[in-house]
Chain A
Amino acid sequence: SQQGEEDPQALSIQEGENATMNCSYKTSINNLQWYRQNSGRGLVHLILIRSNEREKHSGRLRVTLDTSKKSSSLLITASRAADTASYFCATVSQGGSEKLVFGKGMKLTVNP
């Protein structure tokens, strides 16, 4: 299967609710990054978590990383309609490669 698979693939919630997205990967990583993409637009970097980190916060975002399970989660608290977008996890593997390996992404819809 593919590196960086998000779960669920689509999520629809009400404004104010929390949204949790999960990502699984296969290889040993150097770091894992989360990006957001509004429809038809570019990718916006949200947060980077290194392999030796377990949790990271940025505003309403909380990312966890479990290297033993090769998984990460992105939590968006108190969601807003403006959070409606596709969210991607991307990994940088150990071994010197600089490429980001993206998952298929998850479509989040926040209903007002």
Chain B
Amino acid sequence: EPEVTQTPSHQVTQMGQEVILRCVPISNHLYFYWYRQILGQKVEFLVSFYNNEISEKSEIFDDQFSVERPDGSNFTLKIRSTKLEDSAMYFCASSVRPSTYNEQFFGPGTRLTVL
């Protein structure tokens, strides 16, 4: 069964460093998302991406964040200058149609630890 994959599974970085989290969505999916979950808290939406552009973003997704689909398979989240409060589990998700019609399929997550 196709699945969303994410790399790395765990990333440790120093405050102020740039990180890139990578995701490979399910191959025929067209809608891509990033969410994060701070330990013990709810899953929060960051950004949605369709047709090579951001379709929606949350207040969390400020200028320090960016997303890219550099090729036909990868979908990346970049955090330019990490802060301690960016420590969280980051989930990538994809769907074949908009969420108004279909479920989102989530990857296993990347645990980001900012020291």
Enumerate chain A interface residues (CB-CB to B < 8 A): 2, 30-31, 33, 35, 41-45, 48, 88, 90, 92, 96-105
Extra pairs beyond A31-B100, A99-B56 (15, CB < 8 Å): A2-B42, A33-B104, A42-B91, A42-B109, A43-B93, A45-B103, A45-B106, A90-B43, A96-B100, A99-B99, A100-B33, A100-B35, A102-B42, A102-B44, A103-B42
B58 on the A face (CB < 8 A) = yes
Q: How many A-B residue pairs have CB under 8 A?
A: 62
Nearest Cβ in chain A — how far from B1, in angstroms?
12
Contact of B99 among A43, A98, A102 (CB under 8 A): A98
Q: B42-80: which residues lie under 8 A (CB-CB) from chain A? A: 42-45, 48, 55-56, 58
Q: How far is the CA of A96 from the CA of B50 in the complex (A)?
A: 14
Q: How far is the CA of A26 from the CA of B28 in the complex (A)?
A: 33
Contact of A99 among B33, B41, B106 (CB under 8 A): B33
Q: How far is the CA of A41 from the CA of B45 in the complex (A)?
A: 17
Contact of A98 among B35, B42, B100 (CB under 8 A): B100
Quick one: given A41-B108, A41-B109, A45-B106, are A105 and B42 in contact (CB under 8 Å)? Answer: yes
The 6 closest A-B pairs by CB, nearest first: A99-B45, A42-B108, A43-B106, A102-B43, A98-B99, A45-B103
- Chain B residues near A31 (CB-CB < 8 A): 99-100
Nearest Cβ in chain B — how far from A62, in angstroms?
17
Instruction: Please name the residue on chain B nearest to A4 by beta carbon.
Output: B42
Verify A45–B109 contact, CB threshold 8 A. no
Quick one: given A33-B103, A42-B106, A45-B105, are A97 and B56 in contact (CB under 8 Å)? Answer: yes
Verify B91–A98 contact, CB threshold 8 A. no
Verify B91–A100 contact, CB threshold 8 A. no
Q: How far is the CA of A96 from the CA of B55 in the complex (A)?
A: 10
Contact of B45 among A48, A96, A101 (CB under 8 A): A101
Instruction: Please name the residue on chain B nearest to A35 by beta carbon.
Output: B106
Q: Which of B31, B41, B104 has the most CB of A within 10 A?
A: B104
